[in-house]
Amino acid sequence: MAQNEKHAPGNFPPTRCSVIEGVRSSDPEERARALELLAGAYWKPVYKYIRLKYSRAPEEAGDLTQGFFLEILERDLLQKFAPERSRLRTYLRLCADSFVLNEIKHAGRLKRGGNALHLALDVSAAEDELAEAIDPASIPAPGNLEEFFEKEWIRGLFTAAVADLRALAEARGKGTAFRLFEAYDLADSEEVSYNGLAARNGISVSDVTNQIAWVRREFRRLARERLRQLCSSDEEYQREAEALFGD
């Protein structure tokens, strides 16, 4: 990690409220905003986990996922989260297990009041990922999906960072740089080379090198920013950053 990115304990950036603080807020609007941020980071891992572990149909898994995130808000579940004892995603996975088991036990409880917050969940996109991006033979047995949940959370974090990166590149007039990054780092091909990209785009190899280097730096920065929002302290953030980025 670069020196200027390190923070002494207690220096967690005050201008970037973490999702934990937001969901715990007494301000209903801030809580709703934070819940949407939390759901944006975790709903797909939760949805896929419910689909696979509990063998639920897509529509029911979507309803359970929606209900779970509303349960977080209604029951103040994050008030009980202790970052010194576990990672947030571990805590949420265990809470999801408890929620789904209770819903199965008390069938029909998913009906909630008309004022309940509704989260936009693109279930069809999650289903496409399950069908196309995951080899069914590689999915663990229903009782052993913890690692799968972790990988899906990481995939979601990086996917969101790529979307942020695309928007940043477009805003700064660096669409070519993003396309080079997309072709070299994101495409599922080992045949792409800097020389080939240079020839295809009518630029020098050094230009390709410099532009991809810029995009990679911005990607790491944006991914770290999203990660920071999902952590409750400097210590938790640095543990997670070390695990994800190796520094």
At 86-109, the pLDDT tens digits run: 888 899 999 999 999 999 888 756
pLDDT value of position 1: 36
Distance CA 247, CA 236 (A): 14
Q: Is residue 152, in this structure, part of any structural domain at all? A: no
Burial class (CB within 10 angstroms; exposed 0-12, middle 13-18, buried 19+) of 49: buried
Kindly state the percentage of the chain with pLDDT values over 90: 45
pLDDT value of position 168: 97
Q: Looking at residue 4, what DSSP letter applies?
A: G
Q: Is residue 184, in this structure, part of any structural domain at all? A: yes
Number of domains in the chain: 2
Q: Identify the CA nearest to 19 among candidates 57, 64, 69, 67.
A: 69
Burial class (CB within 10 angstroms; exposed 0-12, middle 13-18, buried 19+) of 60: middle
Last residue of a domain, one of 144, 174, 201: 144
Q: Is residue 233, in this structure, part of any structural domain at all? A: yes
Question: How many CA atoms within 13 Å lie on the side-chain side of 156?
Answer: 23
What one-letter code names the amino acid at 141?
A: A
Mean pLDDT, the chain, integer: 83
**Co-location of 60 and 107 in the same domain:** yes
**Co-location of 122 and 33 in the same domain:** yes
Helices (H), the chain: 19-24, 28-53, 58-74, 88-105, 123-128, 146-171, 175-181, 194-201, 205-229, 234-245
**Co-location of 122 and 165 in the same domain:** no
Query: Please, what's the b/e burial string for 182-221 (b: 16 or more CB within 10 A of its CB; e: otherwise)?
Result: ebbeeeeeeeeebeebbeeeeeeeebbeebbebbeebbbe
pLDDT value of position 202: 96
Q: Is residue 31, in this structure, part of any structural domain at all? A: yes
**Co-location of 121 and 46 in the same domain:** yes
- Give the alpha-carbon dihedral of 205, 209, 214, 217, to 10 degrees: 160
pLDDT value of position 109: 60
**Co-location of 218 and 112 in the same domain:** no
**Co-location of 190 and 212 in the same domain:** yes
Residue holding tokens 């609007």? 29
**Co-location of 135 and 192 in the same domain:** no
**Co-location of 78 and 49 in the same domain:** yes
Per-residue pLDDT tens digits for 129-161:
888 655 655 666 666 788 889 999 999 999 999
Distance CA 168, CA 212 (A): 14
**Co-location of 110 and 216 in the same domain:** no
User: Do residues 25 and 34 touch, judged by C-beta distance below 8 A?
Assistant: yes
User: Do residues 72 and 35 touch, judged by C-beta distance below 8 A?
Assistant: yes
Confidence class for position 17, pLDDT limits 50, 70, 90: low
Range of the domain at 237: 157-247
Distance CA 62, CA 146 (A): 20
Helix (H, G, I), strand (E, B) or coil at 81: coil
pLDDT value of position 3: 36
Distance CA 144, CA 172 (A): 44
Q: Identify the CA nearest to 88 among candidates 100, 78, 102.
A: 78
Q: Is residue 19, in this structure, part of any structural domain at all? A: yes
Rounded to 10 deg, the angle between the 146-171 and 88-105 helix axes is 120
Last residue of a domain, one of 118, 144, 170: 144
Last residue of a domain, one of 144, 177, 205: 144
pLDDT value of position 110: 56
pLDDT value of position 205: 97
**Co-location of 46 and 102 in the same domain:** yes
Helix (H, G, I), strand (E, B) or coil at 18: coil
**pTM of the predicted structure, to 2 decimals:** 0.79
Per-residue pLDDT tens digits for 161-201:
999 999 999 999 999 999 999 999 998 777 899 999 999 99
Q: Is the pLDDT of residue 10 over 50?
A: no
pLDDT value of position 106: 80
**Average of per-residue pLDDT across 72-97:** 88
